[in-house]
């Protein structure tokens, strides 16, 4: 597979998963859902954009797709406190993430990290294509560089679920 021809889809946290969390009032770690007012710098993983100051958001523990065994993680992410429009399945690379430096982790069928790289936002799509060109990799996670938090998943178009 030529990296120039690899096409992929960006996946935000699924709305159904967030609906379950909101309905239960508890996140993946059992923490109570506590809405708070955004300051404006919290990347939202539900719609893959930055919030406006004062928007109601929540910091939740989330278990992203990909890892298994010792690679299985639960970590903090910001989401809207109430349902939002989410992120369009064919939305391409999130515009507000284009300027962010990111760690890209490629996971294999066994749930282990098969490869990873550090990229500037402007190079992220090329990095994703390079990782997805590796047949061992079935899914890539974008991660925040400073805090290591999960941002979103990326899969080949034909593997997107």
Same domain, 32 and 51: yes
Same domain, 60 and 98: no
Same domain, 101 and 66: no
pLDDT digits (tens, 9 = 90+) for 119-153: 998 899 999 999 999 999 999 999 999 888 999 99
Is residue 29 over pLDDT 70? yes
50, 80, 110: which is the final residue of a domain? 80
Same domain, 97 and 68: no
pLDDT digits (tens, 9 = 90+) for 30-71: 999 999 999 988 999 999 999 999 999 999 999 998 888 888
Same domain, 112 and 149: yes
Q: Is 71 exposed, middle or buried (0-12, 13-18, 19+ CB in 10 A)?
A: middle
Same domain, 57 and 103: no
Same domain, 75 and 93: no
Answer yes or no: are the C-beta atoms of 117 and 129 closer than 8 Å: no
Same domain, 63 and 97: no
User: How many structural domains is the chain composed of?
Assistant: 2
Domain that holds residue 24: 15-80
CA 1, CA 99: separation in Å to the nearest integer?
28
Same domain, 95 and 153: yes
Same domain, 51 and 107: no
35, 61, 80: which is the final residue of a domain? 80
- Judging by DSSP bridges, how do beta strands 102-108 and 8-11 pair with one another? unpaired
Tell me, yes or no, if the pTM score tops 0.75: yes
Same domain, 43 and 19: yes
Same domain, 63 and 44: yes
């Amino acid at each position: 597979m030529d990296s120039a021809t690899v096409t992929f889809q960006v996946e935000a946290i699924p709305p159904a998963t967030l609906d379950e969390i909101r309905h239960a009032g508890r996140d993946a770690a059992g923490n109570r859902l506590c809405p708070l007012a955004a300051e404006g710098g919290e990347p939202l993983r539900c719609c893959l954009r930055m919030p406006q100051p004062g928007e109601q958001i929540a910091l939740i523990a989330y278990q992203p797709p990909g890892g298994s065994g010792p690679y299985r993680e639960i970590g903090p992410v910001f989401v809207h406190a109430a349902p939002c429009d989410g992120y369009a399945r064919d939305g391409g690379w999130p515009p507000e993430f284009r300027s962010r430096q990111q760690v890209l982790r490629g996971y294999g069928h066994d749930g282990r990290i098969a490869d990873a790289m550090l990229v500037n936002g402007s190079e992220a799509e090329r990095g994703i294509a390079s990782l997805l060109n590796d047949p061992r990799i079935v899914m890539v996670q974008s991660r925040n560089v400073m805090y290591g938090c999960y941002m979103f998943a990326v899969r080949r178009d034909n593997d997107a679920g």
